[in-house]
């Protein structure tokens, strides 16, 4: 049966910003696709037997599209103890001990904690190994930094992973030592390598967590979700997800470069197209680390140092190989890239690869985060056809830390969306969940206001309008995925992916955007979230 969605305010995101004089108040949907957009009386007279869904005085617009996050890690985060806001080792110990008691965790079973931020700790220092051992004296413990790029492991955990004082740090990573003794700290490739070796929960717990993760994204109005680093260890989980057919949002995954041939073999039906709402969108690589963790690769030293620039995680040869692999496989490539030195490497290596493979530009390469890309680097990004996906919410969550790490002048141009727009660059916004919640309305608020937690306006000239911020997570995000003909706006022939908001963001004071509530989310015309869920 046809469905007629009625709503006082409908933002279609089609063409120019609406003037409100002839705004539609009805959308006709059949089989999950928009048939017609217009005035309710006209559509009702033409299709009198359709099911009417009256959304009242609220606002209907295309659902949000997540340009970058980690769906798997967001699901697993639901099975972990959150240390969000902890400001001392004592608070961490209390959270961990409560988690052990509440969940009856036996001795010797791994405890996985997340959301730790050393910037909140005394003197911003990590607790020493002896304190980590006191936090969980009978269990292996891993504490993941909020950035996802580093973490802490206690002695029982290091022993279980086979890490000793003689274990070398891998390229692009670090196993922390003080005076030759392990201190429990790891970062970048070292942390990623050992994190994969920690035992996972059972499959039923995992399936439940993935279902809950879907609901989390839908509760923020998102119906297309990214899994930003799809590695072989995740294959059995997604095979089971597809077998059970429990996905009700579209998931776009990006394979690691080394795993692409195995990915193509196991998920042949999902290469570049959706099957059971899952598709392989392309390849992913990392070029540096985290600015708040001081591992982002910079052209100038971090403030307070003479010669510390952060560091790369790949050399040019490997980066060029990754770009060329994407070209040969006809796959989009996305690259984690925070510092301006990493941005320079991305642009340098992409230009070399594009000279040999002209199709690379058409594959829409994406620089993920692009927080500290230099204004002087934007022209080259435009020329090479790079899409910039900004983690603009960093302005609020870590803007004050960036001022300390880089100085006010440099921090003011993190996530330079307005400058990118002036250059004609297509850009999107993301939350890198589970680093922060996949809250698109908060992100839109950040992009329009650029206010830090301490109330500092950081780079007012880089603010963008609410309409342009909405485009970044609808129209532009659909373009990033090559799905602009199916998603991103409300028009005939596109999927009926909608979000219902309590207020019209185009008519709301920009300082109050994040107070707007997501009331309902529809995927292809079907309700997948409502506020009473």
| pLDDT at residue 262 tops 60 | yes
Give the pLDDT confidence of 22-50 residue by residue, as tens digits: 689 999 999 999 999 999 999 999 999 99
Predicted pLDDT of residue 146: 82
Q: Other C-beta atoms within 10 Å of 524: how many?
A: 18
| pLDDT at residue 307 tops 70 | yes
**Cα–Cα distances in Å, from 377 out to 269, 339, 370, 471?**
38, 12, 11, 23
DSSP 200: P
Give the pLDDT confidence of 345-388 residue by residue, as tens digits: 999 999 999 999 999 999 999 999 999 999 999 999 999 999 99
| pLDDT at residue 15 tops 90 | no
Q: What is the pTM of this model?
A: 0.89
Rounded to 10 degrees, the C-alpha dihedral 55/60/63/64 comes to -130
Let me know if 406 is exposed, middle or buried by CB neighbors in 10 A (0-12, 13-18, 19+).
Answer: buried
Average pLDDT over the chain reads 94
Rounded to 10 degrees, the C-alpha dihedral 429/432/434/438 comes to 10
Lowest mean pLDDT, pick from 136-140, 326-330, 476-480: 136-140
Predicted pLDDT of residue 423: 98
Predicted pLDDT of residue 18: 54
| pLDDT at residue 532 tops 80 | no
| pLDDT at residue 133 tops 80 | yes
| CA–CA distance, 175 with 163 (Å, rounded to integer) | 9
Looking at per-residue pLDDT, the higher value among 66 and 104 belongs to 66
Give the pLDDT confidence of 309-356 residue by residue, as tens digits: 999 999 999 999 999 999 999 999 999 999 999 999 999 999 999 999
Give the pLDDT confidence of 403-414 residue by residue, as tens digits: 999 999 999 999
Let me know if 284 is exposed, middle or buried by CB neighbors in 10 A (0-12, 13-18, 19+).
Answer: buried
Let me know if 309 is exposed, middle or buried by CB neighbors in 10 A (0-12, 13-18, 19+).
Answer: middle
Predicted pLDDT of residue 22: 66
Half-sphere exposure of 45 (CA within 13 A, CB side): 5
Give the pLDDT confidence of 106-122 residue by residue, as tens digits: 998 899 998 899 988 99
Give the pLDDT confidence of 216-232 residue by residue, as tens digits: 999 999 999 999 999 99
The token pair at 398 is 């870590």
Task: Please report, rounded to a whole number, the percentage of residues in the chain having pLDDT higher than 90.
Answer: 86
């Amino acid at each position: 049966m046809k469905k007629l969605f009625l709503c006082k305010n409908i933002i279609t995101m089609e063409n120019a910003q609406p003037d409100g004089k002839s705004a539609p108040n009805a959308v006709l949907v059949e089989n999950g696709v928009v048939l017609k957009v217009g005035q309710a009386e006209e559509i009702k007279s033409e299709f009198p037997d359709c099911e009417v869904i009256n959304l009242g005085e609220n606002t209907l617009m295309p659902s949000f599209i997540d340009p970058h996050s980690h769906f798997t890690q967001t699901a697993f985060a639901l099975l972990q103890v959150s240390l969000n806001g902890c400001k001392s080792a004592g608070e961490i110990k209390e959270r961990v001990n409560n988690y052990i008691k509440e969940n009856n965790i036996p001795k010797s079973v791994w405890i996985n904690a997340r959301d730790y931020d050393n910037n909140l700790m005394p003197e911003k220092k990590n607790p020493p190994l002896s304190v980590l051992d006191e936090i969980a004296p009978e269990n292996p413990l891993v504490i993941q930094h909020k950035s996802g790029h580093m973490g802490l492991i206690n002695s029982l955990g290091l022993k279980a992973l086979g890490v000793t004082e003689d274990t070398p740090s891998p390229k692009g990573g670090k196993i922390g030592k003080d005076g030759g003794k392990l201190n429990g700290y790891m970062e970048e490739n070292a942390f990623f390598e050992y994190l994969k070796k920690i035992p996972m929960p059972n499959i039923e717990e995992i399936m439940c967590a993935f279902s809950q993760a879907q609901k989390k994204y839908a509760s923020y109005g998102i119906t297309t979700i990214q899994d930003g680093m799809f590695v072989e260890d995740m294959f059995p989980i997604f095979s089971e997800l597809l077998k059970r057919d429990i996905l009700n949002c579209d998931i776009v995954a990006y394979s690691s470069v080394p795993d692409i041939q195995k990915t193509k073999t196991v998920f042949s039906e999902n290469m570049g197209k959706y099957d059971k709402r899952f598709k392989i969108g392309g390849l992913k690589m990392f070029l540096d680390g985290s600015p708040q963790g001081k591992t982002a690769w910079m052209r100038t030293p971090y403030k307070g140092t003479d010669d510390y620039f952060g560091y790369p995680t790949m050399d040019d040869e490997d980066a060029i190989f990754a770009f060329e692999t994407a070209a040969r496989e006809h796959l989009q490539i996305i690259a984690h890239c925070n510092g301006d030195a990493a941005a320079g490497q991305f642009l340098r290596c992409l230009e070399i690869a594009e000279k040999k493979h002209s199709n690379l530009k058409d594959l829409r390469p994406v620089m993920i985060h692009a927080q500290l890309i230099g204004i002087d680097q934007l022209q080259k990004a435009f020329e090479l056809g790079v899409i910039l996906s900004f983690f603009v919410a960093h302005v609020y969550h870590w803007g004050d830390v960036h001022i300390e790490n880089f100085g006010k002048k440099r921090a003011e141009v993190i996530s330079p969306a307005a400058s990118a727009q002036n250059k004609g660059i297509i850009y999107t916004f993301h939350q890198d969940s589970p680093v922060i919640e996949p809250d698109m309305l908060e992100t839109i608020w950040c992009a329009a206001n650029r206010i830090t937690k301490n109330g500092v306006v950081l780079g007012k000239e880089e603010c963008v309008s609410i309409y342009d911020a909405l485009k970044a997570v609808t129209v532009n995000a659909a373009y990033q995925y090559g799905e602009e003909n199916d998603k991103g706006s409300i028009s005939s022939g596109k999927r009926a992916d909608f979000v219902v908001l309590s207020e019209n963001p185009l008519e709301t004071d920009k300082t109050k955007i994040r107070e707007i509530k997501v009331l309902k989310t529809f995927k292809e015309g079907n309700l997948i979230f409502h506020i009473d869920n």
